[in-house]
Amino acid sequence: MRLSEARVVLTGASGGLGSALARQLAEAGASLLLTGRDAGRLATVALPAGCEVRRVAADLTSEEGIAALAQAARDFGADVLINNAGTGGFGLFENQAPKTVAHILATDLAAPLRLTHALLPVLRDRPAAAVVNIGSAFGSIPFAGFAAYSAAKAGLRAFSQALRRELADSPVRVIHVAPRAIDTALDPPAARALNAALSNACDRPEVVAAHVVDALRRGVAERHIGFPERLFARLNGLAPELVDRGLRGKLGVIKQHATAQHTESP
């Protein structure tokens, strides 16, 4: 896709990855419709001079938010949707309140599906269009301490694959990008401590954004970011019991930090 001609709807634009994506897309010449829940934070996303940008504050877990953004995207003439908005979910599943689990599923899975559904008629009318879903390595390597989050991201990956096959005869490409941990200020202290304790690699938002922009430019169907995560994703698909055994030895450390996360949560 020629990014200099793209008209991109980017959700979660005020977050660490979202703001990095907005900058890199703008530098490539794309026009942007940025959305996030907080109008104040959305206004602080810095972009290069001359970039065409519109900003819409919307809660995508609500019907009103989906409808408002869909109308704005139609008026904008969007041909790319990047479903980037999401929320974390670190903590032992048995300790998470039902409303917490519901919020994770609503934000990380239901909202991208509903927004994509609302915008498909718009995207189908373009000569070339794309839906980019930002998943997670945990969607392919479900991880202890992230049960609900892993479920949501696994669902998003399955949705991406099914929709890609469903739209194979259309101008709409469906791209799924699965980052590993991203180093942002929004990560809770317990999750950052877990990554340090397990020596999990964390990528800077700018690095992940560059992968997303490259996948969009090339029209790559799927991309897992980072090694050995790519290998473990394939291994988990072929022999999940091997990954079960490999992670069992880390369970004590995961539970220690997941319990701390439960203590930190309001």
Show the domains of the chain with their CATH numbers.
3-264 (3.40.50.720)
Whether residue 43 contacts residue 55, with contact meaning beta carbons closer than 8 Å, is answered with yes
Output the pLDDT for position 186: 66
> Which residues are the active-site residues?
149
Given a cut of 80, is residue 258 above it in pLDDT?
no
Residue 261 pLDDT level (bands cut at 50, 70, 90): low
Of residues 98 and 234, the one with the higher pLDDT is 98
Of residues 17 and 254, the one with the higher pLDDT is 17
Buried b (16+ CB within 10 A) or exposed e, 104-139: bbbbbbbbbebbbebbbebbeebeebbbbbbbbbbb
Q: What is the mean pLDDT of the chain?
A: 92
Q: CA–CA separation, 201 vs 196, rounded Å?
A: 8
Query: What are the C-alpha distances in Å from 78 to residues 28, 69, 125, 161?
Result: 16, 11, 10, 22
Of residues 232 and 207, the one with the higher pLDDT is 207
pLDDT digits (tens, 9 = 90+) for 52-70: 999 999 999 999 999 999 9
Given a cut of 90, is residue 120 above it in pLDDT?
yes
Neighbour order of strands in the sheet with 31-36 = 53-57, 31-36, 7-10, 80-83, 129-134, 172-178, 222-224
Residue 250 pLDDT level (bands cut at 50, 70, 90): confident
pLDDT digits (tens, 9 = 90+) for 24-48: 999 999 999 999 999 999 999 999 9
pLDDT digits (tens, 9 = 90+) for 147-194: 999 999 999 999 999 999 999 999 999 999 999 989 886 677 887 888
Output the pLDDT for position 266: 45
